[in-house]
Amino acid sequence: MSSQSMPFDLELTLPLLAGLVAGLLIGIERGWNQRDQVRGMRVAGIRTFTLIGTMGALVSLVAQAISPVVAAVPLTGLVVVLVAMFLKDAGRTGSRDATTMVVALVTLALGLMAGAGHMAIAVAGAALTTFVLALRRQLHGLVRALSGDEVQAIARFAVLSLAVLPFLPDAQYGPYDAWNPFRLWLVVVLITGFSIAGYVANRVVGEKRGTIATALIGGAYSSTAVTAALATRLKAEESGPFATGIALASAVMYVRVILLTVVIAPVVTWPLVRLIGPAALVAFAAVAVTWRHEEEGRGAAGQLARKPFEFLPALIFLAAVAAASLLVAWAEAEYGEAGGGLSLFIAGSFDVDAAIVAFSALPPGAVGAPIAALALAGTVAVNMAFKTGIVVTTAGWQAARAATLALLSSTIVMLLLIGWEMVVLFG
């Protein structure tokens, strides 16, 4: 049977159906939200929103098949009716809740999208709209619970990730083509995102298990800062699982390093996992042993003494990453692969994340993955040694013995693997 003899045309029916489904999804939520209102007082329910979505699709089809001018007549009429309904409801109740009118216009727009052929986007948009509307109570509760600092943190992070990042060029600039604006800013977004996520998690967990929460969060953001803070409490002989927290922050750091390479430098992930993966397993085993033997593992709670997000540290980190990228590019250009690997090690001694970003900014093949993995593993070892020194010098051997042994256990394993890899690579 030819398409002309079919009782309906799929090219017309499917867009109308998509518009109907979009309106139906939103209408179900709106109808449920108004279920307790007296009949006759409801502004718009399931039937109205279903018709609005269908009307939007129909208007688009009319504009394509007949004329945009003809389609503008019912579209304008529908918009006028929606505004009149809003004004009438506001006058009757004395309040102006614009949600229903805005949702009606969104439904109309989704119907127009469906009629224009973007059916999947229309239905997906309706699903997301319904989800947001269904979270009304939770969203209002969240807004009431937010502090001024937290609102500013959300706004700043939104600017960094949504208003800046998408518009940065993904290309190499600067001396030795060392700087990729998009990749540099992406890492700032990742690091600040870790910070905000950690702050939120700390609020959710609360102070009762704050030391462990701080260690988990700090390991994803700055295990060195957590180590210094908890070492001070070890020195003061406070009651709490501080040695466990120190060990846990560094164990999480191993995971963070591996995940960061997966995101921005996947070519080096497997060679790096072979070098630091066993050390990470030993680190988590050391956490379990330290937790078990620590005398008061459920003692005093820790607390993150920082704002959810500050802009100046992000800029400082950006400058450090940019400098590390330039150092690596210069060394690679002047001294070849060996120089690039050495510069990765030097840069990573200050910040492991900066070294990973610097490697990701290099042209493909500039530094081989085995050499890069060796250099990055070396930076992790230096960082672990630095944290061990912080613990011992701050708290003293007697108070810091458990934490020191936990840090040394994984560091020694990693150094042995690095040494073996050097023998294999350089004979």
Residue-wise pLDDT for 196-240, tens only, equals: 665 665 566 554 466 677 777 777 777 776 777 778 777 777 666
Residue 160 and residue 186: Cα distance in Å, rounded?
9
| Residue labelled with tokens 């930076």 | 379
DSSP H helical ranges for 236-368: 242-264, 269-293, 311-350, 352-361
> Tens of pLDDT along 202-213?
566 554 466 677
Cα-Cα-Cα-Cα dihedral sign, residues 372, 373, 377, 383 = positive
Joined together, the tokens standing for residue 383 give: 């960082």
Taking a C-beta distance cutoff of 8 angstroms, is the pair 29, 133 a contact? yes
Provide the token pair at 370.
């085995």
How much is the pLDDT for 3? 46
More confident: 358 or 64 = 64
Q: What letters, b where the CB count within 10 A reaches 16 and e where it falls short, cover 33-57? A: bbeeeeeeebbbbbebbbbbbbbbb
pTM, whole model, 2 decimals? 0.53
d(CA 341, CA 344) in angstroms, rounded, equals 5
Alpha carbon distance 393, 371 (integer Å): 33
Query: Looking at this protein, which amino acid is placed at residue 121?
Result: I
How confident is the model over 1-46, as pLDDT tens digits?
444 544 556 778 888 999 999 999 998 888 787 766 655 555 567 8
For residue 300, name the pLDDT band (cuts at 50, 70, 90). Answer: very low
Which string of DSSP letters, residue by residue, matches 189-249? HHHHHHHHHHHHHHHHH-STTHHHHHHHHHHHH-HHHHHHHHHHHHHTT-SS-HHHHHHHH
Q: Which of the pair, 360 or 134, is modelled with greater confidence? A: 134
Kindly state the average pLDDT of the residues 271-284. Answer: 92
More confidently predicted of 327 and 60: 60
pLDDT band at 412 (very low <50, low <70, confident <90, very high): very high
> What number is the average pLDDT over the span 354-366?
69
Is the pLDDT higher at 280 or at 89? 280
State percent of the chain over pLDDT 90.
15
Two tokens, residue 277: 């993966």
Query: Going by C-beta distance under 8 Å and a sequence separation of 6 or more, which residues neighbour residue 97?
Result: 89
Which among 9-23, 34-48, 51-65, 289-303 has the top mean pLDDT? 51-65
In the block, tokens 């400082």 appear at 316
Q: Which of 396, 387, 378 is nearest to 223 (CA)?
A: 387
Distance CA 326, CA 18 (A): 52
**Nearest one of 283, 215, 234, 282 to 397, comparing CA atoms:** 234
Mapping DSSP to helix (H, G, I), strand (E, B) and coil, where does residue 117 land? coil
User: What DSSP state is assigned to residue 366?
Assistant: S
Confidence label for 410 from pLDDT (cuts 50, 70 and 90): very high
Contact 11, 42 (CB under 8 A): no
- Segment of 131-140, 168-177, 331-340 carrying the highest mean pLDDT: 168-177
**Rounded to an integer, what is the distance from CA 106 to the centroid of its chain?**
28
d(CA 64, CA 383): 64
Lookup result for tokens 């030819």: 2
Instruction: Tell me what percent of the residues of the chain surpass a pLDDT of 70.
Output: 72
Asked if 251 contacts 287 with a C-beta cutoff of 8 angstroms, the reply is: yes
Q: Report which of residues 99 and 70 the model is more confident about.
A: 70
Residue pointed to by tokens 């030097």 = 346
Burial class (CB in 10 A: 0-12, 13-18, 19+), 167: exposed
pLDDT tens by residue, 381-397: 888 887 888 888 888 88
> Is 154 in a helix, a strand, or coil?
helix
d(CA 18, CA 128): 15
Q: What angle do CA 52, 25, 71 make, to 5 degrees?
A: 20
Calpha distance 238→397 (Å, rounded): 16
